[in-house]
Chain A
Amino acid sequence: MGLITNYNLRSMIVRKGTAAMTAGGIAMVVAVFVMTMAIAQGFRGALVASGSNQNAILLRKGATSETVSAVLRPQLPLIESMPQVARARDGHPLASPELVVIISLPRSTDGNPANVPVRGVGPLAFEIRNTLKFVEGRRFTPGMREINVGRQAVNRFRGVTLGSDVKFGSATWNVVGIFTADDASFESEVWGDVDLMMPAFQRNGYQSTTVKLVDPLAFASFENAVAADPRLDLKAYPERDYYEGQSETTGTLLRIFAVFVTTILSIGAVFGAMNTMYAAVAYRTREIGTLRALGFSRVRIIAAFLVESVALALIGGAIGCILALPVHGISTGAMNMTSFSELAFKFRITPALLGAGLVFSALMGAVGGLLPALRAARIPVARALREI
C-alpha cells in the first residue's frame, strides 16, 4: 500500500499547476463554508452565552419571548419566596424583575436607526448574571436615572459612550458604566433600573423575572412549584434553553444560507476535482498498466487514486480554513427576528467548525475522485501498456 500511495502523492507534485488550481477551488469553497457557518455560530453563541444553567427565567404562559410576556407586580413576592431561589449574603432573594423595550439609536457606521434593546433590571441583576464585568465606570444606582451600556452597543451605536446623556422614554439617562458579558447578547443592550423604566415607558408590569436557583438541579422542583401555584400564570424555563430558543429563527435562516451557498459551490469544485483526476488517470494510463502487470490489484489502484484525490482536497481544505481564520472575532450584527432588535456578535470559528471544513473537503475529494479511480481500475492492461 505504502509504495503505490507514495507514487500517487508524488505525482501530485509533478503536476503542481493543475493540482494547485484544484486545491485552490476547494480552498475557496471551504473558506466560504467556514465563514458563513462562523456567522451562524457567532449569532447562536451570543445568545447561548446569555444563559446560565443555574438561572431560570419566568414568562407568561404561552409567551415565546420577553417582549410579548407579562409578569404582574404582585407575582414577584410569590416568586421570591420560593425555597428554590438562591439568596444573596444579606438574605435578599436573587430575583430580577425585568422589562425589555426597544429604542431606536443611530448606528455608528451609517447613521441609520437600529433597534436597540433596553433592559430594566432589578438591583440584584448583576449578582444573577455574574458574567457581567465593568470595563469602564460603575453600576447604575437604583433610583437614579443612570444606565449601563454593553460594550458592543457602545461601538455599534452613536451617543452611548461613558458620561453621555441619552434621551428615551420621556426621560434623560446618564451612561455611568460600560460592561462586557463574555460576548453574550447582553453586550448589545442598555441596562437601567426597572422601577424607573416602567413609568418612563408607560408600563405598569414587568415582562419577565430571572432568578438564580440554589442549585442547577433545583430547576425541576422550581418549575413544578411555579406551575402548581394558581396565582402565577407563568412558566419557568432554564435560562440557557430560553436564549437558545431566541436564536432559532434567525440562526436557522443563517444556517440555511450557509448550507445553500456551500452546497452549490461544492458542486463546481467537485467537478473541478473530477476533471483533474480524469486527466491524472489519462496521463498515467501506461503507468497504471505497468502497475497492474506487476500484480497490483484493481482495489489498490482505486484506493491509491482516491487517496490522491482526498489528499489534494485536504490540502485545499486546510488552505481554506487558514483563509477563513482572520475573520474570527470580527464583530458584526444582524437583526434577531424573534426580539426584533439588533444583535451584535463576533464571527466564531471553533476547532469543530474547522474539523467540519476539513471533513467537507475530504468528502469533495472522495466524490470527485471516485469515478476517475474506477476508470483507472478498469483500464485493460494490454492496451494500457501499448499506449504512448
Chain B
Amino acid sequence: MKFVSLVLKSARRSKRRTALTMISVAVAVFLFATLRAVLDGFDSVAAASSATRVVTIRSTSMIFTMPTSHTEAIRSTPGVQDVTWANWFGGIYKDPKNFFGQFAVDPESYLRMYPEILLTPEERKAFIEDRTGCIVGDGLAKKYGFKVGDRMTLGVGIPVYGSRDYDFTVRGVYRAGSSAVDNQSMMFHWKYADERSTPQGQIGWYVSRVADPDRAVQMANAIDAKFANSPNETKTQTEQAFSAQFASMLGNLNVLLGSVALAVVITTLFVAGNTMAMSVRERTTEIAVMRTLGFPSATIFLLVVGEGLLVAVVGGTAGALLARAVINGEYLGLAGGFIPAFGVNNWNVVAGVGLSVLIGVLAALIPASMASRLKIVDALRRVA
C-alpha cells in the first residue's frame, strides 16, 4: 500500500506533464477503440447474418437481373422453405448526393424472411396494403426527418424503371433487430416499380430460407444447378459468405486499419516513454537516496513501471469511455450504408484499456531499468 501512495506522489510531482501525457494516451486509445469498432461493425454484419438464408444472384454479377420464372424454380427445390426477392432501385431523393439503399421488395414474403425488420403490426399491415407505401429505417428517418404518413418522391436513377418520378407514402419506420439489416434503407413494393419497368418481370436477387443450415451450401449448389447452362445462370451463397464478400470489396480494411492502429500505438509510446524518461531523470537524486536507504533496485523498477501504468491506464480508460459515449453507432452508417453502423462496445473499451496497460509498461521499461541500475555514488554527486 505504501508503494501505491509513493507512485501517486511521483505522478503528482509534475501535474501538467502527467495531465498532458494522460490526454495523449486518452486520444490514442479513443482512436484505437473507434478503429476496432469499425472493423467489428463489418464483422457483426457477417456474424448476424442468418445461417438459414441463402442469396441468389446472376452469376455474371449483381447488376444483372433474372426473370420472375426463377421464383417457382427456386421454391420447388427440395429443402427450400420460403423465397423472397428484391431489386436495387437506385433512385434519387432530391439530390444525387442523398445516397441511401432503396429496395423494391415483395412486402409480405420479405418481412417474413427478415424478422429482424421490426415494425408494429399496424405499420406492417398498412405497408402491405398500400401499393405505393414504403418503410424506412429509423436511421434514415432521423437523417431526413421522415415520419409515418409523409409523402416522399424518388427520381429514377436507373433507366429500366422508366422516366417518371415515383411517389411514396411512408407507412412505417422500422428498427433493425440485428446488424444483418441496415437501418438506413427504404423498402417499397416490387410491383409498383415493375409496372413501369422495361423489360418487366426482372428480379435483382432472391433470398431463400433453407430448412437445414448444415446443408445450406448443398442447397445453394442445388439451386444453381437448376439454372446451369441457361441464359440466366445464377450464383447462390449463404448470406454470411455474401456479406463477407461485400465487405472485402471495399478494400483490405484489416490491413489499412491495422497499420493505422499500429502507428497510433508507436506514436503514443514515444510520447509516454519520453514522459517517463523525464520523470526519472528529474528524480535521479531522490532515487539514489532511496537506494541508500535500502530500497532494493527491483522495488525502484516496479515504482517507475507503476507510475507509467498509472498514467497510461487513467488516460486510456478515459479515452475508451469517451469513445464509448461518443461513437455510439446509433446513426453512424457512413456512405449510405456501404459502411455499416458501428459503435464502440464494452469489448472495445476492454481492448483499449488493455492497450493502455501495454503502453504504460512498454513506455516505462527503459526508464525503469535505467533507474534501477543507477550507480548510487554517481547519482548522489550529480547536481539536478
Chains A and B are bound partners: yes
Q: Looking across the interface, which residue of chain B has its beta carbon closest to that of A24?
A: B270
Is B24 in contact with A267, judged by CB distance below 8 angstroms? yes
Is A268 in contact with B231, judged by CB distance below 8 angstroms? no
Residues of B contacting A62 with CB < 8 Å? 92, 155
Q: Looking across the interface, which residue of chain A has its beta carbon closest to that of B366?
A: A17
Q: How far is the CA of A335 from the CA of B247 in the complex (A)?
A: 10
A159 CB within 8 Å of chain B: no
A130 CB within 8 Å of chain B: no
Task: Knowing A64-B96, A201-B64, A268-B271, say if A28 contacts B277 (CB, 8 Å).
Answer: no
B27 CB within 8 Å of chain A: yes
Is B271 in contact with A103, judged by CB distance below 8 angstroms? no
A148 CB within 8 Å of chain B: no
Q: How far is the CA of A223 from the CA of B153 in the complex (A)?
A: 30
A384 to chain B, nearest CB (A): 14
Q: Which of A21, A104, A249, A334 contacts B250 (CB 8 A)?
A: A334
0 or 1 for each of B263-289: is its CB under 8 Å from A? (1 = yes): 110111011011101100000000000
0 or 1 for each of A74-105: is its CB under 8 Å from B? (1 = yes): 00000000000000000000000000011110
A346 to chain B, nearest CB (A): 14
Is A32 in contact with B249, judged by CB distance below 8 angstroms? no
Q: How far is the CA of A10 from the CA of B49 in the complex (A)?
A: 62
Classify chain A: how many residues form its interface, as a range: 35 or more
Is A103 in contact with B23, judged by CB distance below 8 angstroms? no
B292 CB within 8 Å of chain A: no
Q: Looking across the interface, which residue of chain A has its beta carbon closest to that of B253?
A: A334
- Of residues 116 through 175 on chain A, the ones whose CB sits less than 8 Å from some CB of chain B are 168-170
Residues of B contacting A168 with CB < 8 Å? 60
Is B383 in contact with A274, judged by CB distance below 8 angstroms? no
Is A113 in contact with B266, judged by CB distance below 8 angstroms? no
Which of A65-73, A299-307, A354-362 makes up part of the contact surface?
A65-73
B338 CB within 8 Å of chain A: yes
A25 CB within 8 Å of chain B: yes
Q: How many chain B residues have a CB neighbour from A under 8 Å?
A: 55
Our count of residue pairs bridging A and B at CB distance below 8 angstroms stands at 148
Is B24 in contact with A271, judged by CB distance below 8 angstroms? yes
Residues of B contacting A271 with CB < 8 Å? 20-21, 23-24, 271
B100 CB within 8 Å of chain A: no
Is A261 in contact with B159, judged by CB distance below 8 angstroms? no
Is A335 in contact with B251, judged by CB distance below 8 angstroms? yes
Is A103 in contact with B274, judged by CB distance below 8 angstroms? no
A366 to chain B, nearest CB (A): 17
B98 to chain A, nearest CB (A): 12
Is A249 in contact with B277, judged by CB distance below 8 angstroms? no
Q: Which of A17, A31, A110, A268 contacts B28 (CB 8 A)?
A: A268
B381 CB within 8 Å of chain A: no
B193 to chain A, nearest CB (A): 15
A59 to chain B, nearest CB (A): 11
B5 CB within 8 Å of chain A: no
Q: Looking across the interface, which residue of chain B has its beta carbon closest to that of A169?
A: B60
Is B264 in contact with A265, judged by CB distance below 8 angstroms? yes
Task: Knowing A249-B335, A337-B338, say if A274 contacts B31 (CB, 8 Å).
Answer: no
Residues of A contacting B270 with CB < 8 Å? 21-22, 24-25, 28, 272
A278 CB within 8 Å of chain B: yes
B245 CB within 8 Å of chain A: yes
Q: Looking across the interface, which residue of chain A has its beta carbon closest to that of B273?
A: A21
Is B274 in contact with A267, judged by CB distance below 8 angstroms? no
B62 CB within 8 Å of chain A: yes
Q: How far is the CA of A60 from the CA of B25 in the complex (A)?
A: 53
Residues of A contacting B248 with CB < 8 Å? 107, 110, 112, 114
Residues of A contacting B205 with CB < 8 Å? none
Is B271 in contact with A272, judged by CB distance below 8 angstroms? yes
Residues of A contacting B278 with CB < 8 Å? 18, 275, 279
Task: Knowing A25-B270, A169-B60, A265-B263, say if A278 contacts B17 (CB, 8 Å).
Answer: yes
Known: A28-B266, A29-B267, A36-B260. 9 other contacts (CB 8 A): A25-B271, A67-B63, A68-B90, A70-B159, A101-B60, A253-B334, A253-B339, A272-B270, A275-B271
A-B contacts, 6 of them at CB < 8 A, read A18-B277, A21-B274, A63-B159, A67-B158, A114-B249, A388-B383
Interface residues of B (CB under 8 A from A): 16-17, 20-21, 23-25, 27-28, 30-31, 59-64, 90, 92, 96, 99, 155, 157-159, 231, 235, 245, 248-252, 256, 259-260, 263-264, 266-268, 270-271, 273-275, 277-278, 334-336, 338-339, 383-384
- 9 closest A-B pairs by beta carbon, nearest first, are A272-B271, A25-B270, A21-B274, A334-B251, A268-B24, A28-B267, A104-B61, A271-B20, A24-B270
